[in-house]
Structure 1
Amino acid sequence: MNKSATIQTRIDPKVKNQAQKILDKLNISMSEAISIFLTQVSLHKGIPFEIKIPNKLTEETLRKSEKGENLHEVSDVKQLFEELEN
């Protein structure tokens, strides 16, 4: 397949850097990752994952977790399930 098409896009540098760190660990270039994404869009005939606006509770929970608020730690999965059952 001839890979000669070029795409230019603007992206938040912080998002790009975070993604680059993950891709480096996966040994995938940014170009390869974008190609994978676009291939999946083509195969699925749409975005290959669900995109939706979170409800108020989910939005608030995400905001708090990003700030480190109301987090609960457990030592292992067994403890997690025990606490969920109670």
Structure 2
Amino acid sequence: MATKSANLYARIEPDVKEKAEKILSTLGIPASSAINMFYKQIILQRGLPFEVKLPSSTPVDISTLSEAAFNEELEKGYADMQAGRTKKAKESFADIRKDYGL
């Protein structure tokens, strides 16, 4: 294993740092190891190891909706279900695992 002797200083939003470090701690991975893994993936992928683009659609944050807007979203979902525009949960989870390499 190569000696880790280079320092990296980065400014990160405090809440982002706290949330990420909490997840890393749960996984048993020190932040420095996660950053090292990220850099190694940049080298292996010859770029960022994920797509950097704007999402084609934004998920609806129901906490920001009025009751009428919330009911409208529910109606859209119900209409999709009635029209057969649904997937089985097993199929949806398989797609998620494929899309995210899980």
TM-score of the two chains, using structure 2 as the length reference:
0.59
Q: How far does residue 53 in structure 1 lie from its aligned partner after superposition?
A: 1.2
Residue of structure 1 equivalent to 2:86: 84
Q: Are positions 1:28 and 2:29 aligned together?
A: yes
Looking at CA atoms only, which structure, 1 or 2, has the larger radius of gyration?
2
Residue of structure 2 equivalent to 1:41: 42
Q: How far does residue 84 in structure 1 lie from its aligned partner after superposition?
A: 2.2
SS at match of 1:39: helix
Residue of structure 1 equivalent to 2:63: 67
Q: Deviations over 1:38-79 (max 9, x none)?
A: 000011110001110123xx13x3xx327365587xxxxxxx
1:65 partner amino acid? D
- Looking at structure 2, the residues matched to 40 and 18 of structure 1 have their Cα atoms a distance apart, in angstroms, of 22
2:61 partner amino acid? S
- Looking at structure 1, the residues matched to 62 and 53 of structure 2 have their Cα atoms a distance apart, in angstroms, of 19
Tell me how many residue pairs correspond in the alignment. Answer: 71
TM-score of the two chains, using structure 1 as the length reference:
0.69
1:43 partner amino acid? L
The answer for unaligned runs of 5 or more in structure 1 is: 73-81
